[in-house]
Chain A
Amino acid sequence: MIDNRERTIRFDATGLHCMREERTLFDELSFSLGPGELLQVEGCNGSGKTTLLRVLCGLKRPDGGAVLWCGEAIDAVFPDFAAQLAYVAHTPGLKESLTPLENLSMAAALGGPRNGMAPEDALERLGLPEGHEELPCYKLSAGQRRRVALGRLLLSSARLWILDEPFTALDVSGRALVNKLLLEHAARGGMAIFTTHHTMDLEGASVRAVHLS
């Protein structure tokens, strides 16, 4: 039974079409992701990468085509899909006057049935210096805030990560860490879709790319 279910976990986009003010951002975009597969979205600034990610999350309706989770439209299976999704947007979604711990606890409470790490452990794993988890977020550097935002990924066992420029503001060790997290996620049978302008070292994982022009 479990094996059967494992095999049916898929994330598909079929014939996605999206316009922005009379300009076609992407047209007839299709791909299919299975367990353990990663997808890198490439394209220059303004080519619609963030729009594509928002469409894939279900935040934005495409002008054509469909996004499918396990073969069903994400709208139709939304609570199930949302419980399997972790989205880290370009804006980190953190409350500046709350501490990293408070922010992640909130994310954990909102995220549905969780079986990932406790917020404290997630922050430690993301390399937030000791003591910083009790400081309000506006006192943290941009890179540290990014690390807190990425900590959301570890709170759940979400199968699908959608990451918009996860490397923004991160230093070398931070980028290496995200790289490692992605590889571990893929090894566990997770899927990830991300945009980045940095080169990644994803040796050993099945990585594909779509290019938006």
Chain B
Amino acid sequence: MHSSSLPNAFLSLLRRDLLLAYRHRAQVFNPLIFFTMVVALFPLGVGPEPELLRTMGPGLIWIAALLAAMLSLEGIFRSDFDDGSLEQLALSPYPLSILVLAKVLAHWLITGLPLIVLAPLLGLLLHLEPRGIGLLLTTLALGTPVLSLIGAIGVALTVGLRQGGVLLSLLVIPLYIPVLIFAAGAVDKGAAGLDVTGQVAMLGAFLALATVLAPLATAAALRITLD
């Protein structure tokens, strides 16, 4: 006699994935450490000149965020596929695309949100101006959910393959490129005092489009993978 409805299923799945992440904390920190290390090591490699770092900073932080997101992607569906939970999800009477959205949201809360929290510190490290840091946060907030949403499609297609890792990168990276170009471009131009409404609006459009379409594509891909 328990209440069961689509919102309840969505929230339960979200809570379950967050709980699982909490019980495997070490795995969650892995992409974050990678992100921090890449950005922190960069000045040691190219030299500490503030001008140079300020020019390279936005692009660097975005590339590091993108690669950190790639590192954690497989986790969206890997364990569910291996232990049979994915079959149970696919056999739920609720739309698989909505359940997928809950899983992607959990993935973003675990991997994307911490990147946004860390980014201002790393921005300071690279001598970004306050306006640049503000724009960096805006673009990360709009862009990292897109990375999770698009990545989920790639993982759904490759999770059934024994050696899907390389294929996943090849599938997903080209789709990440527009996000990278618009986001890094916005921070760059914004720091130089130019108007970036266009780029930011474009990122917002990517996010809206991905939120609507990516879960449908992911659900279809999962059904193919399970077939």
Contacts and interface: CB of A to CB of B under 8 A. Distances in A.
Contacts of B83: 91-96
A110 B13 contact: yes
Give the interface SS of chain B, mostly helix, strand, loop or mixed. helix
Interface residues of A, number: 36
Interface residues of B, number: 28
A54 to B, nearest CB: 8
Interface in A54-73: 57-61
B87 to A, nearest CB: 6
B2 A118 contact: yes
A110 B79 CA distance: 18
A82 interface: yes
Contact of B87 (A83, A93, A94, A97): A93
Contact of A113 (B4, B12, B19, B82): B4
Contact of A112 (B4, B24, B85, B87): B4
A213 interface: no
Contacts of A105: 12
A69 to B, nearest CB: 12
Interface in B62-91: 79, 82-85, 87-91
B84 A110 contact: no
A82 B24 contact: no
A89 B87 contact: yes
Contacts of B88: 87, 93, 107, 110
A112 B94 contact: yes
Q: Give the top 6 A-B pairs by smallest Cβ distance, nearest first.
A: A91-B84, A109-B12, A93-B84, A112-B93, A82-B93, A83-B93
Interface of A: 57-61, 78-80, 82-83, 85, 87, 89-98, 102, 105-115, 118, 136
